[in-house]
Amino acid sequence: MQRQEARKPLVVGNWKMNGTLGSNEPLLAALRAGLDAALLAGVDVAVLPPYPYLPQVSAWLGETGVSWGAQDVAGHADGAYTGEVSAAMLRDLGCRWVTVGHSERRALLGETSEQVAVKADRTLQAGLLPIACVGETLADREQGLTESVIAAQIAPLARLASVGAPGQLVIAYEPVWAIGTGRTASPEQAQAVHAFIRGRLSAAGFDAASLRILYGGSVKAASAPALFAMPDIDGGLIGGASLIADEFIAICRSAASA
Ligand code: PGA
């Protein structure tokens, strides 16, 4: 099966809570030099710095065709929510993307799948594109619960199909046991879950042919080609390797040539 023309690969660098103004500079300079127009013709690339560095990223990458976004967003439009950042503010800063429901936020901050769907909805309403993260724990997988856990995580997102989201929602499948552990899901394991997600969201009314589903979890330049060769893997959400310019650019090249 060939990947549909409608699904241009997408590689997203999730910087997590890393960086300083100073340390970001050489990374951004290398990305600006290495992610040229020829490469970007074959792959969409985005970086997600911590909020305070969004203006720095926009200054460095603004003219390059690389887009940027945030790692989270408030579930409310505006008002008395101390410490929160709204989707409209992110749009003000030129963001295109927002990840919602990263497993670190689900696990450490107790975010529920319902809250994640509300955040995805806010993101869409502001004209930005949500990347909704899902994934099972090792215990879930060992108990044979992978599909039921993923199904429960994507169920609240399914209602976005009725608010004009088809073609705009991106899903990132990130098995919790593979994030930051150096342990990547095999291409076949990842493909099986991606196909499951595509089937579920297709049944919910999404255009399965255009829905981009990214894999995340210890993706490196060496493991990327085999993952991106799978028919339902449309790119990657990259954590640790996105902080190393050469690794990240090599991952982007793999996606462009998949
Ligand atoms: P990792 O992180 O590539 O460092 O495993 C991926 C993610 O959490 O998005």
Selected catalytic residue, list 104, 136, 174, 247: 174
Q: Is 194 an annotated catalytic residue?
A: no
Q: Is the CB of 54 under 6 A from ligand 1?
A: no
Angle at 204 between CA 201 and CA 206, to 5 degrees: 60
What per-residue string of b and e applies to 99-132 under the rule 16 or more CB within 10 Å gives b?
Answer: bbbbbbbbeeeebebebbbbbbbbbbebebbbbb
pLDDT of residue 205: 86
Q: Any idea which residue has 């003219």 for tokens?
A: 63
Q: Is the CB of 180 under 6 A from ligand 1?
A: yes
For residue 239, report the distance from its CA to the centre of ligand 1, in Å: 4
**What are the chain's domains?**
10-60+83-240+252-257 (3.20.20.70)
> Which tens digit of pLDDT belongs to each residue from 127-143?
999 999 999 999 999 99
How far, in Å, is the centroid of ligand 1 from the Cα of 79?
Answer: 32
5 — pLDDT class (breaks 50, 70, 90): low
Q: Is the CA virtual torsion 136, 141, 143, 148 positive or negative?
A: positive
CA–CA distance, 28 with 57 (Å, rounded to integer): 7
Ligand 1 centroid from CA 158, angstroms: 25
| Comparison of pLDDT for 159 and 241, the residue scoring more | 241
Decide: 240 in ligand 1 pocket, CB within 6 A.
Answer: yes
Q: Is 174 a catalytic residue?
A: yes
Rounded Cα–Cα distance for residues 192 and 78 (Å): 40
Average pLDDT, the chain: 94
Per-residue confidence band for 1, with pLDDT thresholds at 50, 70 and 90: very low
Q: Is the pTM of this model over 0.75?
A: yes
Taking alpha carbons only, the member of 133, 162, 50 closest to residue 95 is 50
Helices (H), the chain: 21-34, 37-40, 54-61, 87-92, 103-109, 113-125, 138-142, 146-158, 187-203, 224-228, 245-257
Q: Ligand 1 pocket: which of 237, 242, 244, 247 to mutate (most atoms <8 Å of CB)?
A: 237
Number of other CB atoms surrounding residue 76 within 10 Å: 14
Ligand 1 mutation target, pool 170, 174, 214, most atoms within 8 A of CB: 174
| Confidence at residue 160, expressed as pLDDT on a 0 to 100 scale | 78
182 vs 102: CA distance, rounded Å: 18
174 in contact with ligand 1, CB cutoff 6 A: yes
| Spatial separation of the C-alpha atoms in residues 124 and 117, rounded to whole Å | 11
